[in-house]
């Protein structure tokens, strides 16, 4: 027992800093843990909700089947294998609700211990190493990163010191033991690759260390090559698959609405804490986050860091660090140059508001845009690297200071002083603020019941949870949850969660179509969306709110109650589960009964009018084209529109896709009357003839010639009685026309199914004549009798175009110009009305300015706009400095935002489409503008004009172009009687089906279209081992989102697989095979060493025995 205590004392004396780090970690854990609470919310990953599903999602992570419609991995979920395995092991020790809490504390502890051993390697001093590691643990940057924890950042924190230590050991001495240690740590910390840019930060550290140790020798080059291979092979299982989809993912992510809307704001928000004091203290952008009630999210930390004593302590530590930096340079300790370099590099990036340094970062962002996009969250990406190097330099500063004191008592007192300073800086962490209290929540039991319900259902199904408040993808619940969702981590099925919108254009298009159906209160469009995307389940969670506001679900329930496909399956408290009875897929395999062939794609579109009119369709080249489908896109469509302001005409250019401009016919929709639409009226009087013409609101031009005459009603009257004035009334609108009246275009509103009341009153000095016309306006009129003589009608409403310059739709809309000098309301809408705002109006242009965190909001009411009509919104102006101007369209009837966008940097002229809402009766929108400013970035924008054009969107979108060699009947759809005899969903990347049909047929795979999905078919009568009998099937896109293949007549067994999974398999073999090889050889070396040691010891004993 005495020997055991003695050994324990020796261990403690040698490694007491490790026990100190453990004590700090335990104290933080005890002061932050809450019984029966989960650490959940913000961005979080909780595999213990469903280990089986999450292991599968890791292994087959190159294709994320569970994320909405399915998508290629935009991050690297494969890298989470080790994390999931770790949580699984911990689940045998700790209760499920505490696993995430324990995991983050373990990473915190291991990061501190690693930094201690690394610093001790450099300083060979226990005291300064202990203080250096304490600083790494207790600095403000580290504590902010753990306050809103994400696994990848916590692993990164733990990884940096251990990876650096084992790399330096290997570079110093190349043996299997050091190689194995470096490989093992690289492999165990691979979850930092979940966000590959974080692994990129470590790669920068790795390369910097290599560069500063560079030697022009074969041995060194061999050592570097081996080290690089070890790093690569330990992470190959995720690096290779991620690299495969990298270029596609970067493009998708950068174009996502959430990133288009926020990128500039994030850059400017980073600069709010880019001043010198913030960088010295370790403050970051998390301190600028606010709760829904305008309270800072990190209020305890903001209050604490504003104390003078905290600022003094922080500056004191920085001055000690400066001493250490200068000492290393003075003593030319070249082994530490990488850490000085990286400290200065990260200081440069974080200090993006410091004069001169900010200009350097601007140059980096300008000339290396990939870096700017990948590392737009500068603080979250580089703050840990910054503090890692900061702690090393700080330790060397301490070593110089401690060396000046010979007395042990003085050294001990100084140690206590420095440790006390750091503990005080971290004081809120020991007062239940290490993890945000907003994230310590009790998950209601109803969600586990929901999980239990869906675990009894087939996994190859899709679930939509409503309400989905907006495109930002953040979920708020009235019981406290806020973050990127958690239900999708519990359920075995794919969920259409908003968190997945930025990672897939298809997911975002689905969201836009669903949102448009719901805000329009349109049950038919809602059912069409569920049918198009084959959504199996709708879950209504009434606890979901929009930030701090309860969501009115009346319209959502109205749509669901009027749906023809949904039935209520189950209620769990305030959660309602509806089943779609009309979904016709099995194991994600779908065979539509009828298919049309269309050569169209529409990205970020709010309506698929093709599906509404045609049903299921294949995207096939040289097929029918809907050239104006792009009008449903919520992105800027300015490039497709030209304006003739003199004639008040809008020309819409078609998108022709894969057909030549001279090689098509035009199929026109019937000229039905438009509800509540303003029709153009042309009136003229030359004292001899009065001419009044009502025009259809659009005409089609080919080679500048009219395809048809758009005049719907024409009245020509000679002035036989020499009237001096005419009074004309058309549908309650009156025109006074003198005898000399130049040609004028005006507008009259014609309502559905109403007769035109057309009254003509002639006036002269002696008499009046009253002529009353009551003609019937269009119900459905063929235009064949109005055709241009150069146009040939092939069959009903289909016309052969003889054109050289393509086709243009010309609209004569009544335009509405906002009077920018007369806004309804202007206010400072910044958080807590901080800062200053200014608004100056000159010649109907308005100059918006916001300063020092102020935000100007300007509101313009347009009560005359009817919700049943579609509109083009044209904005012209210039964003001069700071944040770009945003606009929002607020619906007066539904009291919600129907549309929002941010206008382009610099001078802008942009057009957006506001879709009609047929089931929302009434008038009135507000066009609202917002301009934000930030702490070190004022903003100014000039808005020159805002013009609103009504357009007959539903009619124009149905114009169809038919290639001359195209079978017109196939655009109307052909029967598809392919029979799927059986289907197997083997894994997220592998399916097997058997089909039978006596004609060619088509089947679909309900995963987002990707060219890397392959389908191989072989006749059923032949052996599956006869590889020559396999045929690769032709691949198409179904309904503008899913995969489809053409199957020849006969009976076939078909294998469908996502072939990049083979790359993942090879990558796993590389990583696991390398680890086995190194481990095996390490054991051999260790065994030889042990045998040699035993042999020496035996000989020594024999010699000593002989002497005795």
Of 234, 278, 64, 208, which is closest to residue 989 (Cα–Cα)?
64
Q: Choose the weakest-confidence range: 189-193, 613-617, 788-792, 1071-1075.
A: 788-792
Structural contact between residues 167 and 209, judged by C-beta atoms closer than 8 angstroms:
yes
* HEC per residue, 52-101: HHHHHHHHCCCEECCECCCEECCCCHHHHHHHHHHHHHHCCCCCHHHHHH
Judge whether residue 477 has pLDDT over 70. Answer: yes
Of 680, 676, 737, 699, which is closest to residue 921 (Cα–Cα)?
676
Structural contact between residues 966 and 622, judged by C-beta atoms closer than 8 angstroms:
yes
Q: Above pLDDT 70, what percent of the chain?
A: 89
Judge whether residue 484 has pLDDT over 50. Answer: yes
Judge whether residue 700 has pLDDT over 80. Answer: no
Structural contact between residues 731 and 756, judged by C-beta atoms closer than 8 angstroms:
yes
Structure tokens, 651: 């020309």
Distances, alpha carbon 35 to alpha carbons 24, 49, 95, in Å: 20, 18, 10
Confidence grade of residue 790 (pLDDT, cut at 50, 70, 90): low
In this predicted structure, what is the pLDDT of residue 213?
Answer: 87
For 1003, other C-beta atoms within 10 Å of its C-beta total 27
Q: Which helix (H) or strand (E) holds 667?
A: strand 664-667
The reply to whether CATH 3.30.200 applies to domain 443-583 is no
For 604, other C-beta atoms within 10 Å of its C-beta total 18
The pLDDT of 930-958, averaged and rounded, is 91
In this predicted structure, what is the pLDDT of residue 779?
Answer: 43
Of 233, 185, 191, 184, which is closest to residue 80 (Cα–Cα)?
191
Q: Domain coordinates of the chain in residue numbers? A: 2-439, 443-583, 678-779, 816-951, 976-1059
In this predicted structure, what is the pLDDT of residue 586?
Answer: 87
Across-strand partners of 620? none
How does DSSP classify residue 354? S
CATH H-level superfamily of 816-951: Galactose-binding domain-like (2.60.120.260)
- The helix/strand/coil state of 845 is strand
Q: Round to whole Å and give the CA distance between 815 and 950.
A: 7
User: How many CA atoms are closer than 13 Å to the CA of 1041, on its beta-carbon side?
Assistant: 27
The reply to whether CATH 2.60.40 applies to domain 976-1059 is yes
The more confident residue out of 1045 and 832 is 1045
The pLDDT of 297-307, averaged and rounded, is 93
Reported as a single tens digit per residue, the pLDDT across 246-300 is 888 888 888 899 988 888 888 888 888 999 999 999 999 898 888 766 788 899 9
Reported as a single tens digit per residue, the pLDDT across 84-118 is 999 999 999 999 999 999 999 999 999 999 999 99
Q: Round to whole Å and give the CA distance between 362 and 179.
A: 40
- The helix/strand/coil state of 646 is coil
Average predicted confidence (pLDDT) for the chain: 87
Structural contact between residues 605 and 509, judged by C-beta atoms closer than 8 angstroms:
yes
Sign (positive or negative) of CA dihedral 867, 872, 878, 879: positive
The pTM (predicted TM-score) of the whole model is 0.91
Structural contact between residues 360 and 282, judged by C-beta atoms closer than 8 angstroms:
no
Judge whether residue 672 has pLDDT over 70. Answer: no
Judge whether residue 470 has pLDDT over 90. Answer: no
Centroid of chain to Cα 231: 30
- The helix/strand/coil state of 184 is helix
Reported as a single tens digit per residue, the pLDDT across 22-80 is 999 999 999 999 999 999 999 888 999 999 999 999 999 999 999 999 999 988 999 99
Structure tokens, 380: 């979250």
In this predicted structure, what is the pLDDT of residue 471?
Answer: 87
């Amino acid at each position: 027992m005495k020997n055991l205590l003695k050994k324990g004392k020796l261990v403690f004396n040698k490694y007491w800093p490790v026990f100190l780090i453990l004590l700090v970690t335990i104290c933080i854990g005890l002061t932050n843990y809450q019984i029966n609470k989960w650490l959940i919310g913000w961005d979080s990953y909780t595999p213990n909700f469903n280990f089986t599903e999450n292991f599968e999602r890791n292994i087959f992570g190159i294709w994320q089947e569970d994320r909405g419609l399915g998508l290629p991995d935009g991050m690297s979920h494969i890298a989470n294998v080790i994390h999931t395995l770790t949580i699984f092991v911990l689940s045998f020790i700790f209760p499920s609700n505490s696993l995430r809490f324990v995991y983050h504390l373990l990473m915190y502890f291991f990061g501190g211990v690693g930094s201690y051993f690394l610093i001790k390697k450099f300083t060979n001093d226990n005291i300064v190493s202990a203080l250096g590691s304490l600083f790494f643990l207790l600095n403000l940057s580290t504590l902010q990163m753990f306050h809103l924890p994400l696994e990848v950042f916590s692993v990164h924190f733990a990884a940096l010191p251990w990876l650096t230590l084992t790399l330096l050991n290997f570079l110093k001495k190349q043996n299997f033991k050091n190689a194995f240690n470096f490989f093992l740590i690289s492999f165990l910390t691979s979850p930092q690759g979940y966000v590959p840019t974080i692994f990129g930060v470590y790669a920068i550290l790795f390369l910097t260390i290599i560069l500063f140790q560079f030697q022009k020798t074969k041995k060194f080059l061999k050592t570097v090559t081996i080290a690089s291979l070890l790093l690569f092979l330990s992470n190959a299982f995720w690096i290779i698959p991620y690299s495969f989809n990298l270029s596609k993912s970067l493009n998708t992510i950068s174009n996502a609405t959430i990133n288009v809307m926020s990128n500039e704001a994030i850059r400017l928000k980073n600069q709010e804490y880019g001043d010198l004091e913030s960088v010295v203290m370790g403050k970051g952008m998390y301190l600028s986050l606010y709760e829904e009630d305008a309270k800072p999210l990190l209020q305890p930390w903001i209050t604490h860091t504003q104390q003078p004593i905290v600022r003094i302590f922080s500056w004191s530590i920085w001055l000690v660090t400066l001493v250490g930096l200068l000492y290393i340079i003075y003593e030319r300790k070249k082994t530490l140059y990488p850490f000085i370099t990286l400290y200065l590099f990260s200081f440069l990036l974080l200090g993006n508001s410091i004069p001169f340094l900010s200009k350097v970062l601007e140059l980096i962002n300008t000339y290396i845009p990939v870096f700017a996009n990948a590392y737009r969250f500068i603080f979250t990406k580089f703050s840990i690297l910054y503090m890692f190097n900061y702690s090393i330099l700080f330790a060397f500063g301490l070593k110089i200071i401690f060396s000046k004191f010979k007395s042990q008592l003085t050294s001990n007192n100084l140690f206590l002083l420095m440790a006390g300073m750091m503990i005080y800086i971290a004081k809120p962490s020991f007062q239940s603020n290490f993890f945000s209290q907003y994230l310590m929540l009790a998950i209601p039991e109803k969600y586990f019941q929901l999980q239990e319900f869906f675990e009894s259902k087939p996994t190859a199904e899709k679930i939509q949870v409503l309400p989905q408040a907006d495109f930002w993808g953040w979920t708020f619940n009235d019981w406290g949850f806020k973050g990127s969702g958690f239900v999708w981590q519990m359920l075995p099925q794919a969920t259409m969660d908003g968190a997945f919108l930025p990672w897939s254009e298809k997911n975002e298009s689905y969201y836009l179509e669903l949102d448009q159906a719901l805000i329009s209160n349109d049950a038919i469009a809602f059912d069409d969306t569920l049918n198009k995307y084959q959504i199996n389940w709708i879950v209504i969670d009434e606890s979901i709110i929009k930030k701090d506001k309860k969501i009115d679900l009346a319209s959502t329930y109205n749509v669901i109650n009027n749906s023809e496909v949904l039935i209520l399956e189950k209620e769990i408290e305030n959660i309602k589960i509806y089943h779609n009875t009309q979904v016709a897929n099995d194991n994600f395999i779908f065979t539509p009964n009828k298919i049309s062939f269309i050569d169209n794609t529409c990205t970020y579109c709010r309506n698929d009018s093709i599906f509404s009119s045609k049903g299921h369709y294949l995207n096939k080249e040289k097929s029918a084209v809907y050239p104006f489908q792009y009008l449903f896109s919520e992105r800027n469509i300015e490039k497709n529109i030209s304006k003739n302001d003199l004639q008040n005409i809008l020309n819409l250019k078609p998108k022709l896709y894969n057909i030549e401009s001279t090689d098509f016919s035009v199929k026109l929709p019937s000229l039905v009357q438009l509800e509540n639409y303003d029709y153009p009226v042309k009136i003229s009087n030359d004292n001899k003839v009065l001419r009044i013409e009502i025009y259809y609101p659009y005409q089609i031009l080919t080679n500048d010639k009219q395809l048809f005459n758009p005049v719907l009603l024409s009245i020509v009257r000679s002035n036989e009685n020499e009237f001096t004035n005419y009074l004309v009334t058309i549908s309650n609108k009156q025109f006074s026309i003198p005898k000399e009246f130049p040609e004028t275009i005006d507008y009259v509103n014609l309502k559905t199914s109403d007769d035109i009341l057309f009254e003509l009153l002639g006036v002269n000095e002696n008499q009046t004549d009253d002529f009353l016309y009551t003609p019937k306006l269009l119900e459905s009129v063929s235009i064949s009798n109005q055709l241009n003589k150069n146009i040939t009608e092939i069959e009903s409403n289909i016309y052969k175009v003889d054109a050289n310059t393509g086709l243009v739709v010309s609209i004569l809309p009544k335009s509405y110009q906002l009077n920018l000098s007369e806004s309804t309301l202007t206010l400072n809408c910044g958080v807590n009305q901080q800062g200053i705002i200014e608004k100056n109006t000159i010649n109907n242009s308005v100059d918006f300015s916001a300063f020092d965190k102020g935000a100007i909001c300007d509101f313009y009411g347009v009560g005359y706009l009817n919700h049943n009509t579609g509109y083009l919104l044209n904005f012209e102006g210039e964003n001069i400095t700071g944040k770009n101007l945003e606009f929002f369209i607020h619906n007066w009837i539904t009291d919600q935002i129907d549309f929002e966008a941010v206008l382009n940097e610099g001078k802008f002229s942009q057009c957006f489409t506001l879709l009609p809402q047929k089931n929302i009766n009434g008038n009135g929108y507000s066009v609202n503008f917002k301009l934000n400013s930030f702490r070190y970035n004022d903003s100014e924008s000039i808005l020159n004009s805002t013009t609103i054009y009504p357009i007959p969107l539903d009619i124009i979108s149905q114009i169809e172009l038919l290639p001359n060699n195209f079978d017109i009947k196939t655009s109307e759809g052909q029967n598809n009687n392919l029979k799927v005899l059986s289907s197997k969903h083997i894994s997220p990347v592998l399916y097997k089906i058997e089909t039978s049909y006596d004609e060619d047929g088509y089947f679909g795979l309900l995963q987002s279209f990707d060219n890397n999905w392959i389908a191989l078919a072989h006749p059923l009568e032949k052996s599956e081992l006869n590889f020559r009998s396999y045929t690769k099937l032709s691949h198409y896109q179904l309904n503008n989102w899913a995969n489809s293949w053409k199957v020849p007549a006969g009976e076939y067994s078909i294998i469908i697989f996502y072939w990049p999974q083979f790359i993942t398999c090879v990558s796993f073999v590389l990583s696991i095979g390398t680890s086995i090889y190194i481990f095996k050889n390490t054991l051999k070396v260790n065994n030889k060493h042990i045998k040699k040691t035993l042999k020496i010891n035996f000989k020594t004993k024999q010699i000593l025995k002989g002497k005795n």
